[in-house]
Structure 1
Amino acid sequence: MASSPLLLASVLKPVDDTRMFEKFGRTLASRPDLEVHIAGRRAPHPRNAPSNLHTHELLDGSRLSWRRLAAQWRYWKLLRTLQPALVVVHAPELLPLTLLWQRFGRRRRFLYDVRENYALNILTQQVYPHLVRQVLAKLVRWAETKAARQAYKVILAERSYAEELPFALPERTMILENKYQPQPHEAAPQPKQRLPAPHEPLHLLYSGTISELNGVLEALEFTRQLRTLWPGAHLTIVGFCQQPALLTLLQAAIANAPGVVTLIGGDQLVPHADIISAIRRAHVGLLPYRPHQSTWRCLPTKLFEYVAHGLPVIIPDNSLWINYLQNDSIAVVCRDFTSMEAVQDVATALSKTRFYPHGIPANVLWQSEATKLWAIVDSLQ
């Protein structure tokens, strides 16, 4: 394995993506005899990247750009140039070329990292017209099913995928959840056990993908109502929005409430290190997700990130999240992020609760998943 490089690749995910770079990339590059290459959407080469971890641009453009076709050609050139010992495919659209590459060579092995239930998301999230959704979902599921038969291992980012995906056979799959991977030399965070008093400033945070499904509008309304009880409440939204109409609506709402909301990113990708800095500055993390079959059975990356930094979180009434946290002193459940009565209940809980009485739980950290990743890679020797 040490004589040939490893390639991790996506198209839409940036080269500094939290899962592909921070978790898989840094873990594999921790062995200095391995050369690790990461290919994805254009982003600055990550700060403090190990010397044996290299990045390559596959896409410089939007998700609906024709440049996605050129990304396929760049990926094929990388496969031919690097001749990797192992490829970790982080996007289904790269599966056909990966299968072709494997077919015309010996001992060419790959892992398929299933980060989403892609076919379900395409069918239910209404990004594309109805007929296009039907065709795309069938093509994706066909490619995934074929690739699952040829992959050395199929990796699942969510436990629920083991039940949802027909190609995820137990003997060929491994679950690696999106737990938090601390930055190199990152100091252990101190949990925020007590929040400021209601007459003091309170910093709320919404981070990650900016979308209606993830509840960004609910975050705005929650903050507006909370300020009637907690006048110093301020919301920071940090992340990338792929929907121009939603971004315009969001910017107008922010302009109409000066000093209440800060937007970082919006139409620009935000480096993960900047998101982590925002988490460290915040008092409370918001996860106002709307109930939807494509997300409701998943544990969001930001949930691991918030808890790993000792940040109290406000979550919807999702039994999976509640059971995972197994501690009423980490999360406050909000029945309805737009209801004044529910917001009042949350405000009372925030002001009275002593959070993280037992410290930060270890089950939110990536180390447990890194051990499983190494078990897969070492079995290739």
Structure 2
Amino acid sequence: MLQPDVVIVHAPELLPLTLLWQRRGSGRKFIYDIRENYALNISTQRVYQGFTRRWLAAGLRWVESVAARRAAGLILAEASYANELPYLTALPASRVVVLENKYHPPSGESLPAQPQALPPASQPLRLLYSGTISEINGVWEAIALTEQLRTAWPGGAQLTIIGFCQQPALLAELEQKVAQNPSWLNLIGGAELVPHSYIIELIKQSHVGLLPYRPHPSTERCRPTKLFEYLAHGLPVITSPNALWQELLEKHHAGLALDFAQPVDGPALVAQLQRCVFYPAGVPTDVLWAEEGKKLWLLLDSLV
């Protein structure tokens, strides 16, 4: 029977059992890995309705508060969580570590030495939307942008959407849109989870990665994992305006910010893409997990 020195909990639904496990034995330690502001997501993203949404958010926040007091350490995926989560303010800073969702290449993967170039104007421009498929994450904005670029880019434009959609009504609409436009719109996943390796292969085959997020409290202070994935592979990106993301884009000359809420001027955007020199200093390395891993080992060493 396994008797670990430290357990790392990655999901809030496991916290009640973790707390019970800790109470039933002396010296048992756990780390709570806070990947998202879960209560904020539940209360603002409309996946749940009415009383169910309020009850789940309040109950989750209470369980997290209890777990935070009893955890040996806490890992935050975003620095902003230190201010957003009220139960963290009373904890010693030494128990809280920020580990961003940077990219960790799987064993055997060789990252590109050079950034991915845009194709000649006569060839199709391949766009990519990856990760969670939702309206908040801008799936319709990605499709609308592709429709504009299909006529503005001489060789046309194609969009691949890959990821999981947990909203059946949205997925049905999306599948209908794909069925009507099979020549330039492709959906992988949707109702099923997609292996991460599939997403990485598509990043390598694409010309532009899209982050057309709508303004929303649950995402405005976060750096999405796919932003680090795109940058680690030298993929030019087009994002919604966001100060945190813009900081990375400007540092590496990695892409453009575009207000997806406004009508897109396709020819002007194409001209801007063709003028830009993306990643002039090469593919960045500060978007990789290596430095975050060192911080994790320091935390573990302090507990074991």
TM-score of the superposed pair, with normalisation by structure 2: 0.95
Cross-structure match for 1:202: 125
Matched, 1:131 2:66: no
Task: Tell me by how many angstroms 1:171 deviates.
Answer: 3.3
What SS is found at the alignment partner of 1:96?
A: helix
* The one of 101, 117, 134 aligned to 1:211: 134
Cross-structure match for 1:346: 269
Q: Distance in 1 between matches of 2:24 and 2:259?
A: 55
Cross-structure match for 1:60: none
Q: Distance in 1 between matches of 2:278 and 2:43?
A: 39
Q: Distance in 2 between matches of 1:346 and 1:191?
A: 24
Code of the aligned partner of 2:67:
A
What SS is found at the alignment partner of 2:277?
A: coil
**Structure with more relative contact order (C-alpha pairs < 8 Å, separation 6 or more):** 2
Q: Is the 8 A contact 2:131 2:162 kept in 1?
A: yes
Cross-structure match for 2:182: 258
Code of the aligned partner of 1:346:
L
Task: Tell me by how many angstroms 1:148 deviates.
Answer: 0.6
Cross-structure match for 2:302: 379
Q: Is the 8 A contact 1:234 1:261 kept in 2?
A: yes
Code of the aligned partner of 1:243:
Q
Task: Tell me by how many angstroms 1:232 deviates.
Answer: 2.3
Cross-structure match for 1:319: 243
Task: Tell me by how many angstroms 1:161 deviates.
Answer: 0.4
Q: Is the 8 A contact 1:198 1:229 kept in 2?
A: no
Task: Tell me by how many angstroms 1:158 deviates.
Answer: 0.5
Cross-structure match for 2:163: 239
| Higher mean C-alpha deviation, range 163-172 or range 208-217 | 163-172
Matched, 1:96 2:19: no
TM-score of the superposed pair, with normalisation by structure 1: 0.76
What SS is found at the alignment partner of 1:220?
A: helix
Matched, 1:120 2:40: yes
What SS is found at the alignment partner of 2:166?
A: coil
Code of the aligned partner of 1:308:
A
Code of the aligned partner of 2:300:
V
* The one of 64, 69, 74 aligned to 1:154: 74
Q: 1:328 to 1:367 in 2, by over 3 A?
A: closer
Q: What is the CA deviation profile of residues 299-331 of structure 1, one whole-angstrom value per residue up to 9, with x for unaligned ones? A: 000000000000000011111110133337211
Q: What is the CA deviation profile of residues 79-110 of structure 1, one whole-angstrom value per residue up to 9, with x for unaligned ones? A: xx533221111111111111111011011110
Cross-structure match for 1:184: 107
Task: Tell me by how many angstroms 1:194 deviates.
Answer: 3.5
Q: Distance in 1 between matches of 2:163 and 2:116?
A: 26
Code of the aligned partner of 1:355:
F
Q: Is the 8 A contact 2:142 2:212 kept in 1?
A: yes
Q: Is the 8 A contact 2:128 2:161 kept in 1?
A: yes
Code of the aligned partner of 2:242:
N
Q: 1:337 to 1:189 in 2, by over 3 A?
A: farther
Code of the aligned partner of 2:148:
Q
* The one of 253, 263, 270 aligned to 2:194: 270
Q: What is the CA deviation profile of residues 271-297 of structure 1, one whole-angstrom value per residue up to 9, with x for unaligned ones? A: 001111111111110000000000111
Matched, 1:359 2:279: no
Q: 1:327 to 1:347 in 2, by over 3 A?
A: farther
Aligned-residue identity in percent: 56
Alignment RMSD (CA, Å): 1.5
What SS is found at the alignment partner of 1:206?
A: strand
Task: Tell me by how many angstroms 1:359 deviates.
Answer: 1.0
What SS is found at the alignment partner of 2:145?
A: helix
Q: Distance in 1 between matches of 2:67 and 2:277?
A: 48
What SS is found at the alignment partner of 2:251?
A: coil
What SS is found at the alignment partner of 1:167?
A: helix
Q: Distance in 2 between matches of 1:319 and 1:197?
A: 31
Matched, 1:225 2:145: no
| Higher mean C-alpha deviation, range 171-180 or range 81-90 | 81-90
In structure 1, the gaps of 5 or more residues are: 1-80
Q: Distance in 2 between matches of 1:192 and 1:337?
A: 29
Cross-structure match for 2:226: 302
Cross-structure match for 2:27: 107
Q: 1:337 to 1:328 in 2, by over 3 A?
A: farther
Task: Tell me by how many angstroms 1:199 deviates.
Answer: 2.2
Task: Tell me by how many angstroms 1:338 deviates.
Answer: 5.8
Q: Distance in 2 between matches of 1:318 and 1:345?
A: 21
Q: 1:188 to 1:340 in 2, by over 3 A?
A: closer
Q: Distance in 1 between matches of 2:191 and 2:209?
A: 22
Q: 1:296 to 1:345 in 2, by over 3 A?
A: farther
